Copies of this chain bind each other. A is one copy, B any other.
C-alpha cells in the first residue's frame, strides 16, 4: 500500500495506537486524533464469498472509515482522476474515505470482517451508484 497515492486520491491511512499485553491486544481510535468524524452509523460486512466485490459506489456528503478487524480485504479508491489500492489486514489499520470517492472492496479472506463507520445515518440519496454519473460529477466524463 502506498499512503502518498492514497492521499493523491483524497483518502488516507489511519494507524491506530495498539496496547499489547499478557491479557491481549487493544487498538483504539478517537475523534480528532485517528477518527476524522463522529460515527452515527456502523456496519459490518462478513461471510463474503471469494471473488465477490462489494461497494462500487461513492457518497455525496457522507464520510466513511473502513477497517478490516479480522482477516483481510482489498480496497480501491478513486476520485475520477486517480486511483489507489491497498489491502486492509489489521485491526490497527484504517482507511478514511471522504465524500466523492468511488470505493470498491474485493478479495475478502474467508474470515474477513470489515467494519465501516459512517458520518451519518443511511440515506439512499447520498449514494452515487452509477459510475458514469460519478465521472460526470467529478468532471472526468
Instruction: Show the binding face of A for B, using Cβ within 8 Å.
Output: 22-33, 35, 38-49, 52-54, 69-70, 91, 108, 111, 113, 115, 117-118, 121-122
Contacts and interface: CB of A to CB of B under 8 A. Distances in A.
A35 B39 CA distance: 10
A31 B40 contact: yes
A40 B118 CA distance: 12
A25 B47 CA distance: 6
Nearest to A118: B30
Given A30-B122, A32-B121, A113-B113, A44 B108 contact: no
Top 5 closest pairs, chain A to chain B, by CB: A24-B48, A30-B41, A28-B43, A39-B39, A23-B52
DSSP majority for the A interface? Answer: strand
Question: How many copies, total?
Answer: 2
A47 B92 CA distance: 13
A91 B44 contact: yes
Given A113-B69, A122-B30, A24 B49 contact: yes
Contact of A52 (B24, B49, B108, B111): B24
A32 B120 CA distance: 11
Contacts of A28: 41-44, 122
A27 B44 contact: yes
A45 B30 contact: no
